[in-house]
């Protein structure tokens, strides 16, 4: 299929091109995108390859270019339209040429690729990107789980009112009830109306009664912006900011609904992928042709039950980790079952012996009564 061809070529190109993110390479002249920028009318194209001066530490090597890099831009665009947003983000990390093709500039063609990919592979994300984001930035915001304050990936959540991602600790430290700032005279009360608030229970351990929460840095920036506005224009500026906050608040409920739909969709797809892997595992046979696993024991494994509850994408790496745990827990389950069988047998034997003993005693007693 087209998608398999793309990933085959991507793997081949990884050996030939720089795999570091574009921001980590040494400074060089900014290349032009290969595609026409409809906003600026620029038809110039970037070079497909760049010669590297051979040195003693970097001897010249002969590598064949990836076939995907020989594809004309028009066909490359058609291929990209069949890729998911996550695949497009992976493609941008293969080499600088692909990064320039999919990330540089505000070309309507490039934005259309990201938009069609979102609507095709993420149908529950129907709302357009928030103000200040293009389609690619919106996908990075949704798919990248990194906290924008500390850089950690664990337990980060989207704060739609502020358009940032934050973990629990950073939310507690960066977001406060800023009413005290107005009470103490640090900022006018009117500034609080110009900053979106997070009044919902983001984490179960944070009480809503302490809200509404506002990003302290955002409040201070908005105050600095307010002071730079001429006094005769401040009233209109405040009204404009209030309209912006109302718009964000109106979109908030819809975006939270999309978050719920996203989790449910991911969870259902994850369960389907896990079931397919478990079915294949149950059909595995040993050298003698006997089935290696029993469904009852395998489905009783704790790791499998936990895996169904997660809402992240189920990858091949996740399956390898889960399979290793399942095999260990399966053999432990077999041992426990054998132990239970032995205990049950001993209990049955004990009961049988007791009943036989009672029967024998009753028979002997009855025989003695008969003789007498």
Average pLDDT over residues 278-297: 88
Instruction: Give CA separation, 178 vs 135, 181, 211, 243, 329, in Å.
Output: 32, 5, 9, 20, 51
Report the mean per-residue pLDDT for the chain.
75
pLDDT at 39 over 50: no
The per-residue pLDDT for 66 is 59
Strand (E) positions, 117-193? 157-159, 164-166, 175-176
Q: What is the pLDDT of residue 324?
A: 92
Handedness of CA 268, 269, 271, 275 (dihedral sign): positive
Give the integer Cα–Cα distance in Å for 330 and 332.
Answer: 5
Collapse the DSSP code of 215 into the 3-class scheme (helix H, G, I; strand E, B; otherwise coil) and give the result.
strand
- Quick check: 97 pLDDT over 60? yes
pLDDT tops 70 at residue 271: yes
Strand positions, DSSP E, the chain: 157-159, 164-166, 175-176, 214-215
Q: Which helix (H) or strand (E) holds 349?
A: helix 316-371
Among 142, 88, 91, which residue's Cα sits nearest to residue 116? Answer: 88
**What confidence tier does 41 reach under pLDDT thresholds 50, 70, 90?**
very low
Q: Per residue in 151-200, pLDDT tens?
A: 887 778 888 888 888 888 888 888 888 787 777 778 888 888 888 887 55
Residue 29, classed as helix, strand or coil, is: coil
CA atoms within 13 A on the CB side of 190: 11
pLDDT of 244-269, one tens digit each?
888 888 888 888 888 888 888 888 88
pLDDT at 209: 47
Q: In the numeric block, which tokens belong to residue 269? A: 């797809």
Average pLDDT rounded to a whole number, residues 239-245: 88
Tell me the per-residue pLDDT of 319-340, one tens digit each, with 9 for 90 and over: 999 999 999 998 888 888 888 7
Identify the pLDDT of residue 245.
Answer: 87
pLDDT at 370: 67
| 3 state DSSP class of 19 | coil
Closest to 69 in 3D by CA, of 40, 96, 89: 96
User: Angle 73-80/96-103 helices, nearest 10 degrees?
Assistant: 70
pLDDT at 90 over 80: yes
* Rounded Cα–Cα distance for residues 213 and 55 (Å): 57
Mean pLDDT of 76-103: 79
Chain position carrying tokens 């497909």: 48
For the chain, the structural domain boundaries read 1-51+62-127, 269-371
> What number of CA atoms fall less than 13 Å from residue 236's CA on the CB side?
5
Residues with Cβ within 8 Å of residue 75, at least 6 apart in sequence: none
Residue 25 has pLDDT above 60, yes or no: no
Percent of the chain with pLDDT over 90: 5
104-113 mean pLDDT: 76
């Amino acid at each position: 299929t087209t998608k398999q061809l793309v990933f085959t070529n991507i793997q081949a190109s990884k050996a030939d091109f720089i795999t570091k993110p574009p921001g980590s390479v040494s400074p060089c002249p900014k290349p032009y995108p290969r595609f026409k920028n409809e906003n600026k009318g620029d038809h110039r194209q970037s070079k497909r390859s760049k010669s590297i001066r051979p040195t003693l530490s970097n001897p010249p090597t002969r590598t064949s270019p990836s076939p995907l890099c020989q594809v004309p831009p028009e066909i490359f665009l058609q291929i990209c339209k069949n890729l998911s947003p996550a695949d497009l983000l992976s493609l941008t990390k293969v080499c600088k040429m692909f990064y320039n093709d999919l990330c540089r500039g505000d070309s309507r063609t490039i934005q259309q690729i990201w938009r069609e990919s979102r609507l095709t592979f993420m149908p529950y994300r129907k709302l357009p990107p928030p103000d200040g984001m293009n389609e690619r930035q919106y996908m990075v915001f949704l798919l990248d789980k990194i906290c924008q304050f500390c850089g950690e990936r664990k337990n980060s959540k989207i704060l739609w009112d502020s358009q940032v991602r934050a973990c629990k600790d950073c939310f507690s430290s960066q977001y406060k009830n800023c009413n005290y700032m107005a009470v103490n005279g640090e900022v006018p009360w009117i500034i609080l109306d110009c900053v979106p608030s997070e009044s919902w229970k983001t984490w179960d351990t944070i009480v809503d009664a302490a809200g509404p929460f506002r990003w302290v840095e955002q409040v201070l920036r908005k105050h600095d912006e307010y002071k730079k506005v001429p006094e005769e224009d401040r009233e209109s500026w405040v009204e404009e900011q209030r309209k912006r906050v109302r718009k964000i608040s109106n979109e908030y409920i819809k975006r939270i609904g999309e978050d719920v739909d996203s989790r449910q969709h991911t969870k259902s797809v994850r369960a389907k992928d896990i079931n397919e892997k478990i079915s294949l595992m149950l059909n595995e046979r040993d050298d003698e042709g006997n089935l290696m696993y029993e469904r009852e024991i395998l489905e009783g494994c704790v790791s499998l039950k936990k895996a169904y509850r997660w809402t992240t994408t189920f990858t091949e790496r996740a399956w390898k980790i889960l399979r290793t745990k399942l095999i260990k827990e399966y053999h432990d389950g077999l041992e426990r079952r054998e132990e239970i069988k032995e205990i049950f047998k001993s209990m049955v034997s004990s009961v049988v012996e007791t009943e036989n003993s009672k029967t024998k005693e009753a028979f002997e007693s009855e025989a003695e009564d008969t003789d007498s």
